């Protein structure tokens, strides 16, 4: 988050208006500038005092490195592109600041061979990163992130090192690092993150930004209601002038993983059995076949032939899906009820957040609702969400919902924009500042 002293009234970021560009679908709408100046060249705009570092570690790994521009002798300033990493519960996205989409997207999981397999296959790698780990036999799988919070720092660091050395092919000691953070993340996690970045990854600078704020920046705005449904959680977060409003944040623990599990149960009822190692197949069925019905009961009563589709499994077997296609994502809008707990669905969650926003800001929020996260990509999602929100409002209330095609990358893209802005560069936490103040500096520099 840029301190107010570094804001300007110069034009905001502007990406090419290609079919994949991040912009609102609303007819005639134009992205609102966040009010920052930005250089278009992704490799510039980062200047940070950095001690000379050894590149032996990268050479020892046998990885071809992307060479950064090096300073002239006697100068201590290095200009390199910052790296942006969005570590989600389901996937981890990484790339260079200034790019529109991440260069690498991998599953947030780490695998280690079982002790038995290590005794029989001594030449086997001791670590598997990403979705590949799920396919390895005799492997213990670790999920380093749970509900958006890092719970296994050793596995998370292994994941980040893989991204640096094998995906981006750069050394972390050459690049500043911007990381995303979920809403209401414990302060101790931020402190630990800073410690890992400076002590283990040896990066020269870093910054931590809230995911919701980055999503707003990705849409060229500084205020709006972010409705983010990802792998493990669904949030509604009001953002005002670049700041989260914590008292108005709402959370629902129903998201992509729950829908995948539900779809697997529905397929089991049809006689199709899948084990945990085939979750990627279930995910693919969910993404390619499922959709959100505008009216669930009306859709249920339609003739089956109108919504039945075939899906071919990797082994060549063909399965036919019917009502399961819209039953799966319906749980986001009509969640299963639990004893002693009333769940209102994603549209009701958004309205609960809006009711907690100061009345003078509520109109702005209704006109800047931002859908993001991979679980919002279902066909019909935007239409159903807008319909359900408006059905509980007065007819004269103006509602605008932005659902851009690449909204599953919104957090990362917002980080890419922020980290490449010229006026943002003084905001980095420098390594010397960390050594002087300890990890607590993150609370002073990042908010």
pLDDT at 135: 79
- Each of the 447 residues of the chain gets a pLDDT tens digit; together they read 454 434 433 333 333 333 233 333 333 333 333 333 333 333 322 223 333 333 334 433 344 444 443 333 332 223 568 999 999 999 999 999 999 999 999 999 999 988 777 666 767 788 999 988 887 888 899 999 999 999 999 999 999 999 999 999 999 999 999 999 999 999 999 999 999 999 999 999 999 999 999 999 999 999 999 999 999 999 999 999 999 999 999 999 999 999 999 999 999 999 999 988 788 999 999 999 999 999 999 999 999 999 999 999 999 999 999 999 999 999 999 998 767 777 889 999 999 999 999 999 999 999 999 999 999 999 999 999 999 999 988 878 899 999 999 999 999 999 999 999 999 999 999 999 999 999 999 999 998
Yes or no: say if 97 and 419 are a contact pair by the CB < 8 Å rule.
yes
pLDDT score of 79: 54
**What string of DSSP letters covers 217-244?**
HHTT-S-EEEEEE-SS-EEEEEEETTEE
Alpha-carbon distance of 139 to 400, in angstroms, equals: 47
Reported as a single tens digit per residue, the pLDDT across 42-87 is 332 222 333 333 333 443 334 444 444 333 333 222 356 899 999 9
pLDDT in tens, 359-385: 999 999 999 999 999 999 999 999 999
- Phi and psi at 231, nearest 5°, equal -85, -40
Q: Using alpha carbons, select from 406, 367, 325 the residue that is nearest to residue 99.
A: 406
Q: What is the pLDDT of residue 25?
A: 35
Report d(CA 184, CA 205) in Å as an integer: 24
pLDDT attached to residue 119: 65
Is residue 194 within 8 A of residue 395, CB to CB? The reply is: no
User: In Å, how far are 195, 242, 266, 340 from 173, measured between CA atoms?
Assistant: 14, 29, 48, 51
Report the mean per-residue pLDDT for the chain: 84
Q: Which residues contact 333 (CB under 8 A, 6 or more apart)?
A: 292, 296, 345, 346, 347, 384, 385, 388
> What pLDDT was estimated at residue 155?
97
What's the confidence (pLDDT) of residue 413?
98
State the pTM of this model: 0.81
Write out the two tokens for 251: 């959370």
Strands (E), 114-223: 128-129, 139-142, 145-146, 149-150, 177-181, 205-210
Length of the chain: 447
Longest Cα–Cα distance of the chain, Å, equals: 76
- By DSSP bridging, strand 149-150 and strand 145-146 are antiparallel
d(CA 150, CA 164): 19
Q: Which domains does the chain have, with CATH numbers?
A: 111-142 (no CATH), 256-331 (3.90.640.10)
**Confidence at residue 2, expressed as pLDDT on a 0 to 100 scale:** 53
Report phi then psi at 370, rounded to 5: -115, 115
């Amino acid at each position: 988050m840029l301190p107010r002293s570094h804001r300007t009234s110069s034009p905001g970021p502007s990406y090419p208006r290609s079919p994949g560009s991040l912009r609102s679908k609303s007819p005639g709408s134009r992205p609102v500038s966040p009010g920052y100046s930005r250089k278009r060249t992704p490799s510039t705009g980062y200047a940070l005092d950095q001690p000379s570092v050894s590149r032996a570690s990268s050479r020892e790994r046998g990885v071809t490195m992307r060479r950064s521009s090096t300073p002239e002798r006697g100068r201590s300033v290095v200009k390199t592109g910052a790296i942006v990493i969005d570590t989600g519960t389901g996937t981890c996205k990484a790339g260079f600041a200034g790019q529109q989409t991440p260069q690498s997207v991998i599953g947030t999981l780490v695998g280690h061979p079982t002790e038995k397999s290590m005794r029989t296959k001594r030449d086997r790698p001791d670590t598997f990163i990403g979705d590949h780990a799920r396919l390895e036999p005799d492997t213990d799988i670790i999920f380093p992130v749970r509900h958006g919070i890092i719970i296994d720092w050793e596995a998370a660091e292994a994941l980040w090192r893989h991204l640096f050395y094998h995906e981006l092919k750069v050394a972390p000691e050459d690049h500043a690092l911007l990381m995303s953070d979920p809403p209401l993340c414990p302060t101790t996690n931020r402190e630990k993150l800073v410690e890992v970045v400076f002590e283990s990854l040896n990066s020269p600078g870093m910054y931590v930004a809230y995911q919701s704020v980055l999503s707003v920046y990705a849409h060229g705005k500084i205020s709006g209601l972010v409705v983010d449904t990802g792998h493990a959680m669904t949030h509604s977060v009001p953002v005002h002038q670049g700041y989260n409003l914590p008292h108005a944040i709402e959370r629902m623990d129903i998201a992509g993983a729950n829908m995948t599990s539900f779809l697997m149960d529905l397929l089991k009822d049809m006689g199709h059995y899948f084990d945990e190692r085939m979750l990627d197949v279930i995910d693919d069925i969910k993404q390619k076949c499922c959709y959100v019905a505008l009216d669930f009961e009306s859709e249920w009563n339609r003739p089956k032939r109108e919504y039945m589709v075939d899906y071919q499994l990797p082994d060549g077997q063909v399965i036919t899906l019917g009502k399961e296609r819209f039953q799966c994502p319906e749980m986001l809008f009509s969640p299963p009820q639990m004893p002693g707990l009333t769940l209102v669905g994603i549209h009701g969650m958004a309205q609960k957040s809006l009711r907690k926003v100061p009345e003078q800001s509520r109109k702005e929020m209704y006109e800047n609702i931002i859908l993001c996260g991979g679980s919002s990509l279902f066909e019909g999602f935007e239409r159903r969400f807008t319909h359900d929100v408006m059905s509980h409002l007065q007819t004269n209330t103006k509602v605008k919902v932005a659902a851009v095609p690449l909204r599953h990358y919104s957090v990362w893209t917002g980080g890419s924009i922020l980290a490449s802005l010229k006026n943002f560069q003084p905001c980095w936490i420098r390594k010397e500042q960390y050594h002087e103040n300890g990890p607590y500096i993150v609370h002073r520099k990042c908010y």
